[in-house]
Structure formats: C-alpha cells, structure tokens
Amino acid sequence: MPPFAGKRILLGVSAGIAAYKSALIIRLLKQAGMEVRVVMTDGAQAFITPLTLQALSGEPVRTSLLDPGAEAGMGHIELARWADLILIAPGTADLMARLAHGMADDLLTTLCLASEAPRLMAPAMNQVMWRHPATQRNLEQLSRDGWQWVGPDAGDQACGDIGPGRMSEPEAVAEAVFKVFRPAQTSRSCHIVITAGPTREPLDPVRYLSNHSSGKMGYALAHAAARTGARVSLISGPVNLPTPAGVERFDVDSAAQMHSAAHRLAQGADIFIGCAAVVDFRAEAPAEHKIKKHQNEDSLTLILVKNPDIIADIAALPSASRPLVIGFAAETRDVEHYARDKLARKGLDMIVANDISQAGGVFGSDDNAAWLLWKTPDGQASESLPSQPKARLASDIIQRALDLLAFGETP
C-alpha cells in the first residue's frame, strides 16, 4: 500500500508562471496514495487549464465560489471539511496579501478561512516583490496564523531577474507535504547507517577485484536521509563523490573493512541500508609483489575465498541491538524471484531490487528504477518505483524505511 494512502490534499493554484509545476505536484502526491482535489483562481487558468489538472487528479477542478451545483449543498464548506491539508502552490504576493487580511473574495481564500486543516504554501513571485516590506509583513502574519512554508528558492526567474522568489521544485513541495503526515519521531534522533560504493580486493600491490558501482545511489540515500533530520553514518567504498551535507563518512577499501565498520556502527542504530556493491570473493593469499606475466604461461590460477556477508550478519544481530535492515539486489534476470529469496534467506526487513540488464544499466547512471519488497505482519507487500533520478528515488526509499520503522509496515 502506498505510504500515505487516503490522505486528502486540497491543492490551491494561483496565478503565476510556476502554475505548470502544480501538475507534477499532483502526480507525486497521487503516487504516494493521496487523494487530491484542485481549486484554481481565475488568474491561474491563464497559465494552465483546469482540464489538465482534472485529468491528473481524477477529480473535478473547482474554479468558482458561486457554483450553483456545488453550492446547493454548501459545497465550499464540505470541501473545507474534506481536506486533511490545504496546499497552495504557487502562492502569489496578491494571494498572500488577501489571506493575511482575512479576505474571502473567491473560492480559495474562502476555503482557507473555513478549514481547520493544516496549511502549507509554496510562494512564487518576482524577487523584488518577495523582498518588498509588505510581502514580508504578510509572511510574518500568515506564519503567526499557522501557515507553513516551502521555499521560495533563489535563482533565475521567468522575468529575467535573479534572486529569491522561485517556487520550490515539485519534489521539494511534495516532500514538505509528506513531512506534515510523517510521525516526527521517525526521523528525529533516528540513526541511519548506509553502505555505498564498491569494495576492492587486492590480488597484488597493483591489481584488485572490484565492480562498476559508482556509489551514486548510496550517496543519494545518505543525502535524502540527512534531509529528514536523521543522524547519518555513511560507510563508503572508494568513490569519487563529495560527502553529502550533514553526513558522517567512514572510508573503507575492502569487504573486511566494510564488515568491521558496519558491525561497529549498526549495533544500536535504527536503520541499516546495505547499498554497497560488495565483492563476493577475495584472493586467499594476495601476492606480496606484483604478479609477473611469464612468456611460457598462458593462464593464471587464482584461489578465491568468500567475503563476509555484511547484510546477513547485521540482520542476525540480537534483537536488542538489531536495526531495521534493508538490502539491495542487483539482478540481470528473474528480479522478483531473486529478491524474494534474498529477503527470506538473509533475514531482511525490506529489499530494493534493480534490473541491471536494461539498456544503459544502473551502475554509474543518474537514473534508476526499483521494486521494493518488505515484510508485513500478514506476509509481504511490494511496490514498483518507475525510472527516475536517483535523488528522487532515494527520497522515496528513505520515506518507506521511516514508515516501516514507525508502523511496522508502510501505512
């Protein structure tokens, strides 16, 4: 079941070029299982059509306070009571001013006055308008009235200016919505340990066994986890990536080193995510000196031994110190079959499976798709996440992990 199934979002769209972003916001909220109904101001309809948002939300779009059909049953009051959250994206300077003064001169402002639901706004306007003292006074008043905010961001604007006032990206707005409903205790004081990147197993002082892992997925997970406010420990194999802000990084090289760091950090942690591509075998006896190629030898025999199974060992920790354990499965065929087998065989709580046989692969790419499988009190549940930037996919996975930690299964 999607993580926020049944939550009811009333999305208000006001006049601004950023209104086009509301379409993707609806899609992201619907993917999370939320019900979305849309109210548009007159000006908003000049930038995006009600039909577009109706097709995405699956619900009629309301545009008028004086709608005879709806008002026969006091429709605006029913809609105000229906909402679990009112989200306005984009929110213009004009709309902020009217709300700050308690006006109810159209359907959207009337709903805001008639509802007791939490209220969240993503402002969008020219940088001079955002900085204007009147807008800042309205911002302060609305904050005192209980409004929450996402953005605005700074950067290039449609008018050619550069500065604060850009509406936050749809992913950031959706994440702000999710935070309203996510139990605060799931991320506050939560310790998440993540492994990332490849390991290297030396054959001699020059050569080693490894794989194509870039570490991008693990680092994206660490960044997404840190954004929730969690304490994040990242155990990283050799990669060429900067440490995400707010993350404590522990560099390792071999599987044995990663195994030692994982055991030390995972005991007492809340969540352990094994995203690293750990080399399964190592040389039994790495050569002390560089292995030479001799003219009379056409082959080389290496004796390899198994590396420790990091994720299985963490899953086998005593319950008092065992975290929620999430593994990854990169497969070239029968993805679901092998994922179910790995979940059971290694005693995991959730597994993230990737099909690496697709064109372009997964290692080193910026996009990824995944199939999630997790344990529930009644058995197992699963969800497919479409191909998308790894940063967005990582945010979805962290959300599922936090929900699983809070509820024992995703809500």
Could you list the residues known to form a binding site, using ranges: 274-276, 280, 290, 308-311, 328, 342, 346
Identify the residue whose tokens are 């005991």: 267
Q: Is the peptide bond before 205 cis (omega within 30 degrees of 0)?
A: no
- Residue 344 and residue 409: Cα distance in Å, rounded? 16
Q: Which residues of 143-179 are buried (b: 16+ CB within 10 A; e: fewer)?
A: eeeebbbbbbeeeebeeeeeebbbbbbbbbbbbbbbb
Residue closest to 366 by CA, chosen among 174, 172, 215? 215
Contact 236, 289 (CB under 8 A): no
Mark out the alpha helices in 40-106 (DSSP H runs): 50-57, 68-71, 75-82, 93-100
Q: Residue 382 corresponds to which tokens in the numbers above?
A: 């699963």
Q: How many of the other CB atoms lie within 10 Å of CB of 393?
A: 23
The answer to whether 112 is a known catalytic residue is: no
Binding-site residues for CTP, in ranges, read 274-276, 280, 290, 308-311, 328, 342, 346
Catalytic residue among 1, 5, 134, 159: 159
Q: Residue 105 corresponds to which tokens in the numbers above?
A: 């001169």
Residue closest to 52 by CA, chosen among 5, 20, 18? 20
Active site residues: 159
